[in-house]
Amino acid sequence: MKDNITTKLQVFTLLCFSVLLLQGCSGTTKPVAVRQTIVLKDGWKFAKDIDEDASATGFNDGEWQAVSVPHDWAIYGPFDKKWDMQKVAIIQNGETEASEKTGRTGALPHIGTGWYRKTFTLPEFEAGKKALLIFEGAMSEPQVYLNGKKVGQWAYGYAYFYIDISKDIIAGQPNTLAVKLTNKEYSSRWYPGAGLYRNVSIVVKNPESINQWTTFITTPSITTASATVNIKTAATGTDVHLVTKIFDAKGKLIATQKSSAGTNNTFEQNIAVPNPNLWSPETPYLYTAVNQLYARDVLKDEETTRFGIREIKYEANKGFSLNGKITKFKGVCLHHDLGPLGAAVNKAALRRQLTILKDLGCNAIRSSHNMPSIEQLELADEMGFMFLAESFDEWAKPKVENGYHRFFEEYAEKDIVNLVRVTRNHPSIVMWSSGNEVPDQYGAEGLTRAKFLQDIFHREDPTRPVTVGMDQVKQTMQSGFGALLDIPGLNYRVHLYEDAYKAFPQGFILGSETASTVSSRGIYKFPVVQEKEKQYDDLQCSSYDLEACSWSNVPDEDFVLQDDKPWVIGEFVWTGFDYLGEPTPYDEKWPSRSSYFGMADLAGIPKDRFYLYRSRWNTKDETLHVLPHWNWEGREGQTTPVFVYANYDSAELFINGKSMGIQHKNNATPQNRYRLMWMDAKYEPGTIKVVAFDKNGKAVAEKEIKTAGKPHHLVLTPDRKTLAANGEDLSFVTVSVVDKDGIPCPTATNQLSFKVTGAGTYRAACNGDATSTEIFHDTTMKLFSGKLVVLVQSTDKAGDIELEVTGDGLQKGTIKLSAKAL
């Protein structure tokens, strides 16, 4: 398959003016784009832990595995406790003695050395042109060779970087790129992924061109009548000028400006946009700026940047406002892995995550604890999410033996500069974070480092503030660390919010990380009590949402602060989705290998907790969610509390038609304030029904849950039925087992098998069970709490796709999807 050549221009731009009309010798005119972006997607060869040096052009990689990039070499498993087994005390979790941690980094084989090789020719390149090789993330410590020569290297696996290969490319001939990546043991607190897990591309430009990552678009003044769009950029070339064209979301040209170069070939333009449409989570309106660079009158380069017009303010005692409206962050923290896809970035998977989060009513994301992908930011811009873009989990003091502290001195500035320059034009980003719970919260050097990093952010982007997620709150109140930050971010420590607000000068507090409640989808434990660090023999956590870690809390405690303290500017809940690694409270218990923190599980299926947040955050749609399930054979007559998460203040519960009384939300405890709870309900098989009342006591909604019979047939529900035939689009098909009457069987664990035919392939499956060692990419998996998700991937052919799911003794399920040419 050919490499994916895009000009990264909107189609309309391409048609209108991205071409330079060259006079061919035959007298005909031939359009040639002034810059090309070649995404190096297919045709890579990969090998792991080989003894040889594979950098040379002539190296024989014939036997290596053929892969496409983005690629995560470790996600294919197998799960094994021996990978990256760590004997450590997790100081951040309050541990004092070292013990064996088995699933801390996901129990997947990410440690070791991986080589990627690819041969390519660049017809677009000729001597004198510029060619830049761009990595959007390479896990980790990449060493890069072109035609046998080392051309560059980096360290941090999450960093953006580029290498100028203009002098090393052989024009018109095959070139060999080889990348060596090394992942050390003890280098992460979660699953980092492994390999070239984000895009690698080459940009070819003229010698006279816009300098890489220099364009910066801001909107310094906004009124209803007009907004000023400020564009700064820098270029190389003599006698150059810049023409900027601004297009609205429909592609209509709305403003143009021509400017000559200033000192050092820099440009600054202020362009008026009349009647601006403002960007916000509710109205994610995007404009496009096309910067055209001319040398004399010849078009030499063209760069397209999407941006939004929006105003952000953080003010003492008022908090955060977006476009003049006080807005609280209803945010989630997300690690970068995509469950069964591992760290390999995939836009369809990210879009599905954000679609689920939209339904939740979430308006913000924190990319904990590292640089977000471009794909995720593009989607956040388009779908309307504010973004807290983070950089590091460690500065100079270690959390893990081989963590970022090894690179801090040499790389911290470069990593921040690249992060900011690559991503600062995304309107979704409203805040930067220079660190998470860094041990440098202690000590005078820590303060110096906090200032050093914050100053770099300010220099590169004076428009957005900087936070640090702090867990050593008492310490940072005394040392001045918290006072120094633009935004004091508290991780947990609900009991210190009030003190921190008084101690810090900023006049507001951000819940940069909250809750860390643990639960397993569809698993309920009795008796129902609030507990910390609770463990069970099956290595699951109860979905009554009352269990947390020693340092963390249940959601309701955050809600109280969010609702009662106007100076709390919002929260970022740990986490939106479960992630690979960090299986607290079972860090020492095999086979736990992924987290229990998510509001949705690793497959993206919402847990009960999702609806608790939804009942507050989604102010448009009804939430009326009842738990637990009602299949408790053997618990007849026993106390089986029923909880309701709803955006109604009262409701009545009926068990098999008998009223269990009306519950009202009240202020007795945080739980009573936000949940409706029938603590004395007794189990009897049949139907439970909840009737919800409006403010006037009128019954306005109801929900029933029934005891299911034996598993009978499978129900397949895809998130999308039509895919793009591009070899990377995905449909996420939720598979549920139901009884003969169609009632979901909530405890079913049947072993299922999957077959995809037609113009698609089977990609992976995931059931959300944090203790499962079944490999995501095998075509069989057990249901967990009656459900799992199958990922079907398009090929580059259009046509019909069929997924068939079978299980012993079950009527099979099939679903038809289709792939359409782009």
Q: How far is the CB of 579 from ligand GAL (least distance, A)?
A: 10
Q: Look-up: residue for tokens 């470790």? A: 74
Q: How far is the CB of 574 from ligand GAL (least distance, A)?
A: 5
Q: How far is the CB of 756 from ligand GAL (least distance, A)?
A: 36
Taking CB under 6 A as the criterion, the residue among 437, 440, 729, 769 binding ligand GAL is 437
Give the x/- contact pattern for ligand GAL in 396-435, rule: CB under 6 A: ----------------------------------------
Q: How far is the CB of 548 from ligand GAL (least distance, A)?
A: 8
Q: How far is the CB of 442 from ligand GAL (least distance, A)?
A: 16
- Residue 262: how many other CB atoms lie within 10 Å: 11
Q: Determine which one of 124, 394, 513, 684 is catalytic.
A: 513
Q: Which residue blocks in 285-405 are alpha helix, DSSP H?
A: 347-360, 374-383
User: How distant, in Å, are the alpha carbons of 25, 81, 461 from that of 418?
Assistant: 42, 36, 12
Taking CB under 6 A as the criterion, the residue among 292, 376, 491, 514 binding ligand GAL is 491
Q: How far is the CB of 188 from ligand GAL (least distance, A)?
A: 11
**Position 180, amino acid:** K
Taking CB under 6 A as the criterion, the residue among 425, 436, 479, 592 binding ligand GAL is 436
State which residue, 189 or 625, has the beta carbon closest to ligand GAL.
189
Pairing assessment for the beta strands 760-766 and 730-738 based on DSSP bridges: unpaired
State which residue, 235 or 548, has the beta carbon closest to ligand GAL.
548
State which residue, 92 or 182, has the beta carbon closest to ligand GAL.
92
State which residue, 399 or 665, has the beta carbon closest to ligand GAL.
399
User: Is there a catalytic annotation at residue 513?
Assistant: yes
Strand partners, 814: 804
Cβ atoms of residues 316 and 581 within 8 Å: no
State which residue, 340 or 583, has the beta carbon closest to ligand GAL.
583
Give the x/- contact pattern for ligand GAL in 573-602, rule: CB under 6 A: -x-------x--------------------
User: What's the distance, Cα to Cα, between the start and end of the chain in Å?
Assistant: 16
Q: Cα-flanking dihedrals φ and ψ of residue 555, to 5°? A: -55, -40
Structure tokens at 36: 């090309």
State which residue, 203 or 612, has the beta carbon closest to ligand GAL.
612
CA nearest neighbour of 801 among 737, 738, 720: 720
Q: Cα-flanking dihedrals φ and ψ of residue 383, to 5°? A: -95, -10
Cβ atoms of residues 155 and 407 within 8 Å: yes
Q: How far is the CB of 616 from ligand GAL (least distance, A)?
A: 21
- Residue 734: how many other CB atoms lie within 10 Å: 16
Give the x/- contact pattern for ligand GAL in 319-358, rule: CB under 6 A: ----------------------------------------
CA distance 415 to 418: 5
Q: How far is the CB of 397 from ligand GAL (least distance, A)?
A: 15
Q: Determine which one of 124, 390, 394, 437 is catalytic.
A: 437
Structure tokens at 348: 């369809």
Taking CB under 6 A as the criterion, the residue among 92, 119, 747, 761 binding ligand GAL is 92
Q: What is the CA radius of gyration of the chain?
A: 27
Q: How far is the CB of 664 from ligand GAL (least distance, A)?
A: 32
| Spatial CB neighbours of 534, under 8 Å, sequence gap ≥ 6 | 525, 541, 542, 547, 585
Q: Which residue blocks in 577-716 are alpha helix, DSSP H?
A: 608-617, 670-674
CA distance 191 to 187: 10
State which residue, 348 or 549, has the beta carbon closest to ligand GAL.
549
State which residue, 92 or 321, has the beta carbon closest to ligand GAL.
92
CA distance 340 to 351: 15
Give the x/- contact pattern for ligand GAL in 556-575, rule: CB under 6 A: ------------------x-
Contacts 24+ apart (CB under 8 A), 56-60: 56/148, 56/178, 57/147, 57/148, 57/176, 59/117, 59/178
Total of chain residues touching ligand GAL, rule CB under 6 A = 11
Q: Is 549 an interacting residue with respect to ligand GAL (CB under 6 A)?
A: yes
User: Is there a catalytic annotation at residue 394?
Assistant: no
Q: Is 475 an interacting residue with respect to ligand GAL (CB under 6 A)?
A: no
How far from chain centre, in Å, is Cα 393?
16
Q: Is 471 an interacting residue with respect to ligand GAL (CB under 6 A)?
A: yes
Most distant CA atoms of the chain, gap in Å: 91
State which residue, 322 or 334, has the beta carbon closest to ligand GAL.
334
In the window 504-543, what residues touch ligand GAL (CB under 6 A)? 513, 516
Taking CB under 6 A as the criterion, the residue among 291, 370, 454, 552 binding ligand GAL is 552
CB-based closest residue to ligand GAL: 516
Cβ atoms of residues 676 and 627 within 8 Å: no
State which residue, 219 or 516, has the beta carbon closest to ligand GAL.
516
Q: Cα-flanking dihedrals φ and ψ of residue 344, to 5°? A: -60, 115
Q: How far is the CB of 516 from ligand GAL (least distance, A)?
A: 3
Q: Cα-flanking dihedrals φ and ψ of residue 6, to 5°? A: -125, 155
Which amino acids are annotated catalytic?
Answer: 437, 513
Binding residues (CB under 6 A) for ligand GAL: these are: 92, 436-437, 471, 491, 513, 516, 549, 552, 574, 582
